[in-house]
Amino acid sequence: MAEGRHRLLIATQNPGKVRELQQLLGEATWELVTPAAVGLADLEVVEDGESYQANAARKARAYANASGLPSLADDSGLEVDALAGAPGIHSARYAGVGLTDQDAANRRKLLDALKGIPSAQRGCRFRAVIALTHPYGPDVRFGEGVVEGRVAEDERGDLGFGYDPIFELADGRRMAELASDEKNRISHRARALADLGWALDALAVALERTSGAEKVGKDESDGGTGQAGR
């Protein structure tokens, strides 16, 4: 553990989400670690819940229990009004599973599904739910964030990942055209983390108190056995 910081596992195998969450969280309070760094690169969690919360909680619990570390997991999706909210919780595998370029296949399927739909009816939103839990703890805390837009008729931009190249903001730009610092001010994950901020702060304080109490106990034990002066 880095001096003054506690480890927090980013519970996802998606490299785009890892990068974005690392940028959003920074490392002032937490020492952020990835599944690969703790030997969990092959851990896969079945995301068959019926809500973003259910899937995020399942991932957070699985990674926390496997690693022994507090863990942060997200589930997110694109909700398209003209498709009655689809692909929603199925966004990550909308075009199927095991595809060579999953993101590109998902975007193609969505654009095909919306062919002929006029601009005024292409409203959509990115929604993210982020779950935070502690190893074997009963509680899971949640934060939720939403950003509104519309599905464009083609792709533009090479930044971001997932549906970013076809997600059009109110000013006409695509999410994939935003530099990371701007995206991290407005994105659904940024808003979900802001909503969860109180729980992250509370966990950091609790861990600090626990480690402080353990240090005092160790110092007293060392003193009691004559080890302090050695």
In contact, 47 and 60? CB cutoff 8 Å = no
Query: Is residue 101 flagged as an active site residue?
Result: no
Q: What is each CA distance from 115 to 44, 80, 90, 108, 110, in whole angstroms?
A: 34, 13, 20, 11, 9
The Cα–Cα gap between 137 and 135 comes to 5
Catalytic residue among 75, 103, 154, 195: 75
Q: What is each CA distance from 196 to 37, 73, 189, 199, in whole angstroms?
A: 24, 12, 10, 6
| Catalytically annotated residues | 75
